[in-house]
Structure 1
């Protein structure tokens, strides 16, 4: 009985030492292809100047696009850090915001309405691209939903 189980289960885990194919082309691959092309060309019919210049222009624009991409990534990270620093000045201040709540009229009937709430900002954190103010009433509100900011809570 154990022989039939061993014969039926011949599954093996994949070998982790094999390299995962990478389909993206980078400047190193481009240079390797260009060097291989130049070293293996027919000496009686060398590469045309126009082809060589075209390939070098492509290589140059590839490098420039990669530099722009890295610059854009850095700029986005800096903007996120700056927005957090900008809104950190809210800590300790009293802020107001609108939220859904219920209001009782003179007859005692509760109806849904937008209610203005006020609380002090305890901390500010980043949540993805949004900046969240953590308030003294235990709620977390996006800084973009704040309607009023005061230096201290007035009673």
Structure 2
């Protein structure tokens, strides 16, 4: 009796430790492989209940829908950022004002910070992460959300 158990060959193999797993995230392909393995290796005298099977299929369907929503959100965010860049591109060639901070030394030798209104022409507009930044003719980069005034062009 024990001889028949020892001679059976198992199709399961341990994972190769020399290979680095690509990621720890589970995807729908892995879910389907697990489900198929579970169905093919179940005990014929006690098969999986249909409630469990339906529950797992519902989870699989939810996973697919969540992935589709995630892809849609990524696309929407990219379109929104591109739209913001196009919206602020109309600033190129215009004079803008913003509040800059300067540090001066008073007669006692102490440093004093003050806010000064600065004006410069916009040379270009670029996206920096989620922020849109205006490159100015004075060499500074300022977030478009920090601009306080927009004119047609600075007079020299």
Using structure 1 for the length normalisation, give the TM-score: 0.77
Question: What is aligned with 2:63?
Answer: 62
Alignment deviations for residues 50-91 of structure 1 (CA, whole Å, 9 cap, x no partner)? 011000001111111111111122222222211111111100
Distance 2:138 2:24 in 1: 52
Closer, same or farther: CA 119–36 of 1 in aligned 2, 3 Å: same
Structure 1: give runs of 5+ residues left out of the alignment: 1-16, 104-109
Paired with 2:103 and 2:30, the residues of 1 have a C-alpha distance of: 64
**Equivalence map 1:1-155=2 (5 Å):** 18-21=18-21, 22-101=23-102, 112-154=113-155
Match of 2:7 in 1: none
Work out whether residues 95 and 149 of structure 1, in 8 Å CA contact, stay in contact via their aligned partners in 2: yes
SS of residue in 1 equivalent to 2:34: helix
Q: Give the RMSD, CA atoms, in angstroms.
A: 2.4
Task: State the distance in 1 between where 2:101 and 2:43 align.
Answer: 77
The ranges of structure 1 where at least 4 consecutive aligned residues each deviate by more than 6 angstroms after the TM superposition are none
Q: CA deviation at 1:113?
A: 2.3
How far does residue 102 in structure 1 lie from its aligned partner after superposition? Answer: 6.0
Q: Which runs of 5+ in 2 are unaligned?
A: 1-16, 105-110
Could you tell me how far apart the structure 2 residues matched to 1:93 and 1:137 are?
13
C-alpha separation in 1, matches of 2:68 and 2:113: 53
TM-score w.r.t. structure 2 length? 0.77
Distance (whole Å) between structure 2 residues aligned to residue 100 and residue 47 of structure 1: 70
> How many Å apart are 1:46 and its aligned residue?
2.0
